[in-house]
């Protein structure tokens, strides 16, 4: 169990992020068109998982926009923003913000992703959503980089995540 904060108030996640060098847990998440995808859908590509509580918050929106800009010249990689948002809300957000280089995925049908990646918030006002985190995977789904942002209202370390993605 990891300890994080929301505006200085302590809350916890259900576990720890996967360790660098380990194989990433598989997942089943829902796209904005309501189809389900697994990690296998992105086989052969390096992956940046931008894990956020909700796209409806300023920091989550900013991180998605920043990664969207950064991914414009990275055809060998894919960026996924994963949240507890319904696919309809994610689709609206991506359309309004012109998000074209990040794929929005929802935990609508299951919280197993959050549990398996150790980011499920277990107490406090955001219980049931994800803590803010970034996980970078190589093309074989080995974990290259992880960051659990200690304060939910803070942005992740973009430079470190993108450096890990670029290898």
The set of catalytic residues is: 60
Q: Give Cβ neighbours of residue 95 (< 8 Å, ≥ 6 apart).
A: none
- From the CB of residue 56, how many other CB atoms can be counted at a distance below 10 Å? 14
Q: Are 43 and 24 in contact (CB under 8 A)?
A: no
HSE toward the beta carbon, residue 1, CA cutoff 13 A? 9
CA distances from 50 to 8, 9, 59, 112, 139 (A): 22, 23, 12, 16, 17
Backbone angles phi, psi at 11, to 5 degrees: -145, 175
Radius of gyration of the chain (CA): 14
């Amino acid at each position: 169990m990891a300890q994080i904060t929301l505006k200085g108030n302590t809350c916890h996640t259900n576990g720890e992020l996967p360790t660098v060098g380990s194989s990433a847990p598989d997942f089943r998440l829902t796209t904005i068109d309501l189809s389900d995808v697994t990690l296998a859908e992105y086989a052969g590509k390096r992956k940046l998982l931008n894990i956020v509580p909700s796209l409806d918050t300023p920091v989550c929106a900013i991180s998605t926009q920043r990664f969207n800009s950064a991914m414009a010249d990275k055809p060998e990689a894919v960026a996924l923003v994963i949240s507890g948002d319904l696919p309809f809300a994610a689709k609206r957000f991506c359309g309004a913000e012109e998000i074209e280089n990040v794929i929005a995925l929802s935990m609508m049908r299951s919280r197993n992703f959050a549990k398996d990646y150790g980011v499920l918030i277990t107490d406090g006002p955001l219980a049931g959503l994800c803590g803010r985190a970034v996980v970078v995977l190589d093309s074989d789904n080995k974990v290259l980089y992880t960051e659990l942002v200690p304060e939910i209202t803070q942005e992740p370390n973009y430079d470190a995540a993108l450096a890990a993605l670029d290898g």
